[in-house]
Structure 1
Amino acid sequence: MIGKGLRNEAVIDAMKSHGAVYFGAIGGAGALIAKSIVAEELIAFPELGTEAIRKLTVKDFPAIVIIDSYGNNLYKTGREKFQINTL
């Protein structure tokens, strides 16, 4: 998946079960990211058009793995790292 927002625990659990990752991208960077796609394969839901599920082959991909296939979540760990203890 590619996006720029949080994912809930149900999605993260499904990612772990299926070996998926979640890439974070800067909003509005779609044209830049699209230039990195060297091949694509339609996997499911062709009737959804641009929202169909596709397998992408990329080169020099300008995105960051936010949630890996083990459930490690940069949104969570990044915030915890810089959280100020107010107690």
Structure 2
Amino acid sequence: MDEVVFFNPGDSIGNFHDHNEAVKTAQIYKEKQDENKRVLVVHGVDNKNFDIFFADDVISHTNEQQAAQQKNEKPYRISDRI
């Protein structure tokens, strides 16, 4: 079963056509930036691309009202947790 999460697309760290490239870049980014932060590789909204986000940027119940007001939330399917 796919896990669908919501993000503001503007929070994306990167966008890739190739899944392996996205995973590799996420691993490098995490290693260079902050090994304590979780990074998610998600299947893009159009199901053709992969995006990288920080797990902390997931729109949750605590911040969904603000995101809904801005109408910036988009659904993504989690591909990998790094």
Asked whether the two chains share a fold, i.e. TM above 0.5, the reply is no
Q: Which has the higher contact order (CA 8 A, sep 6+)?
A: 2
Between Structure 1 and Structure 2, the one with more strand by share is 2
What TM-score does the superposition give when structure 1 sets the normalisation length?
Answer: 0.27
What TM-score does the superposition give when structure 2 sets the normalisation length?
Answer: 0.28
Structure with greater Cα Rg: 1
